[in-house]
Copies of this chain bind each other. A is one copy, B any other.
């Protein structure tokens, strides 16, 4: 086994603004055999997600940054190709957190066995994985959509947004999506069942959104920031809830505040006069809800209430370019890298 070579992508430099290809480096290193209590994994799929941009920066956040020279972090689906761990056998398909590489050693603590008869394994990185659970936990715990309320989410065809809209509808709320371009909008409306969809590339976002939300907005699931926030803000109803799970429009910002006017006092005034709730979260803090999520989401998937779209890129070496595109909205559906067939 010791002749096995691991291909891995490490952080070569901290990006200034938008990441560039040169911020990543592909390396090849030998992998040792698994020790007692360990398994050797062959990575099948690597998930690419916007949060990874945060890990590339040294700025303080809820997670420690990836250090220069370290393997980029990421969720993965893998096959056990050698095992000296009592709970895992050769051939098992598992969800792991092995990062941007082709092989990995694990002590089992980060592994969750998948049953390929229930759903395609790659869904463990999307609709049945972290993005789906982000949507589920943030929407239901913080957003608390009631029947008849209006829920707005951007990146509506993406991994998180598509689940937010569909789960909102399952709970009887009206789902309004925002997406970029006619193709993504049609998908969100026709395939995912959003009640209304607004194309942020068509201009007049504020007007379009106001037309799509005649009764205002009760829940805004924030995963983008930027111009979408500006369109959402005046439409927020009294007691509106805003789970904040991401701010993709700002991930490339440098540390300094942009020029004015200063919108902070206006936001605080609205928080006060409309009794708004704004709450940042990461899905980890709701870990005790994961069993309920896996059970419910698997049922919804089987019954067709919850649909998904994957955007699969072939080859680990293409991960950096695909990730850069993700931050620009170039993907269409959950972005996954197929690392091995």
A229 within 8 A of B: yes
A74 within 8 A of B: no
Bound CA–CA A285/B274 (angstroms): 12
Q: Closest B-chain residue to A60, C-beta based?
A: B273
Bound CA–CA A304/B265 (angstroms): 38
On whether A257 and B265 interact (CB within 8 A), knowing A276-B279, A279-B277, the answer reads yes
- Contact (Cβ within 8 A) B285 A280: no
- Contact (Cβ within 8 A) B271 A275: no
The answer, among B54, B229, B257, B266, for a CB contact under 8 Å with A273, is: B54
Question: Which residues of chain A (251-272) have a CB below 8 Å from chain B?
Answer: 253, 256-272
A246 within 8 A of B: yes
Residues of B within 8 A of A205 (CB): none
A77 within 8 A of B: no
Bound CA–CA A56/B257 (angstroms): 34
Residues of B within 8 A of A268 (CB): 222, 225, 229, 244, 247, 250
A186 within 8 A of B: no
Residues of B within 8 A of A250 (CB): 265, 268-269
Residues of B within 8 A of A274 (CB): 62, 280
Residues of B within 8 A of A265 (CB): 225, 247, 250, 253, 257-258
- Most chain B CB atoms below 10 A, which of A54, A263, A268, A282: A268
On whether A272 and B247 interact (CB within 8 A), knowing A263-B263, A278-B279, A279-B277, the answer reads yes
Bound CA–CA A293/B341 (angstroms): 64
- Interface range on chain A (Cβ under 8 Å from partner): 35 or more
Residues of B within 8 A of A257 (CB): 260-263, 265-266
A281 within 8 A of B: yes
- Contact (Cβ within 8 A) A275 B264: no
Q: Closest B-chain residue to A273, C-beta based?
A: B61
Q: Closest B-chain residue to A263, C-beta based?
A: B264
Q: How far is the CB of A213 from chain B (nearest CB, A)?
A: 17
A238 within 8 A of B: yes
Q: Closest B-chain residue to A260, C-beta based?
A: B260
Residues of B within 8 A of A258 (CB): 260-262, 265
- Contact (Cβ within 8 A) B280 A275: yes
Residues of B within 8 A of A280 (CB): 270-277
Q: Closest B-chain residue to A226, C-beta based?
A: B265
Residues of B within 8 A of A262 (CB): 257-264
Q: How far is the CB of A25 from chain B (nearest CB, A)?
A: 26
Bound CA–CA A281/B275 (angstroms): 5
Residues of B within 8 A of A271 (CB): 244, 278-280
Residues of B within 8 A of A239 (CB): 285
Bound CA–CA A264/B225 (angstroms): 10
Residues of B within 8 A of A263 (CB): 257, 262-264
A-B contact pairs, 18 of them (CB 8 A): A59-B273, A61-B273, A62-B238, A62-B273, A239-B285, A244-B272, A250-B268, A253-B269, A257-B260, A257-B262, A259-B260, A259-B262, A260-B261, A260-B262, A262-B264, A270-B280, A275-B281, A278-B279
